[in-house]
Structure 1
Amino acid sequence: MPSWNSRGLRGSTLEELINLTNEKYRSNKLALIQKIPTPIKPINIDKDNRHITLAYFEQKSTVDYIGSVQGIPVCFDAKETATSTFPLQNIHGHQIEFMKEFEEQGGISFVLIYFSAKDVFYYLTFQNLYEFWNRAMNGGRKSFKFEELDPYYQISTHNGVFVHYLELLNSDLENRQEK
């Protein structure tokens, strides 16, 4: 079982920026997106400070965020990589399956990736993720390179929104309707 405190603060800055973005979207009545907590089972609790010092994940998580954008159900995961390559082992099979089923129910799934070496936020459509995933499952490359991504889906920061993904979500929707 993975330990709750073994991952350090990896991804916490990205999640905080996404949380701030989602709060801005909520206050402007553009979207209602919630962070989904991963259920943990505390093992050790510091009784003096009432802090959990060791815990284990009780079950596999699905995605980091779920909600609605102007009536459209969305779910997405947030990932970070320090290189210009994204290892697909950072996404688990049960997450792919959940996002696939979410899409089959009429929702939109995607992944927000922060390439910290390039200081670039990226909106990865589920279709592209699924293509990379299938390539890996069929014996191909187990990661994808930043250079393989469509530069159009790089996320810009503006209007006080740090990870402004709604514009790219709209483009994702438009591209789906054209197909």
Structure 2
Amino acid sequence: MCVDNSRLSRNDNLAESLIVTQKIRESGVEIVYVMYPVDPNTSAGMLQENILYTFTAFEKRNLRLKFMNGKRTRFKEGYWIFAGVPKGYKKQKEGKSTILIPTEPRATYIKEALEMYANGILSNHSDVYRYLKEKNITSNSPRNTTGRIHYTIVSILFKPRTIYFYAGYFYRPSR
């Protein structure tokens, strides 16, 4: 028993929502929608349920787009909207929001290293590692008591999301 079909499946893919519903019914469970009762044993009831799922999927896609547009706007205004902080930056509270502040000279050196890599001046990850090591860029991890750069910093820099950030693009592969 659920209020409506949007409570049964939060997926915005109509086909997947219908498959979930079908599997629930095949297991012997009767689905009862409180708000919009349908009879899935009739063709009219099946049509009604499909229409309800179509509207739900449409509404969920629109809500996601509005949410992402709002995040994109906040990001362009300088607010940090993701978990974690890119290397060379730190979070700073501004009212109820958080903005990113570059920690110099670290941010500049990291950006230079990535630009040199993109332009072919530094040919591989090891070259980027050596460049950052020459600039005395160390891990800012509280566990790093040696003051050395860890190769994991370089591997983190080459994740697609990080590269897009340093290049000035808003990009979220998982969305």
TM-score scaled by structure 1?
A: 0.23
Question: Larger % of strand: which?
Answer: 1
Question: Larger % of helix: which?
Answer: 2
TM-score scaled by structure 2?
A: 0.24
Relative contact order: is structure 1 or structure 2 higher (C-alpha 8 Å, sep ≥ 6)? 1
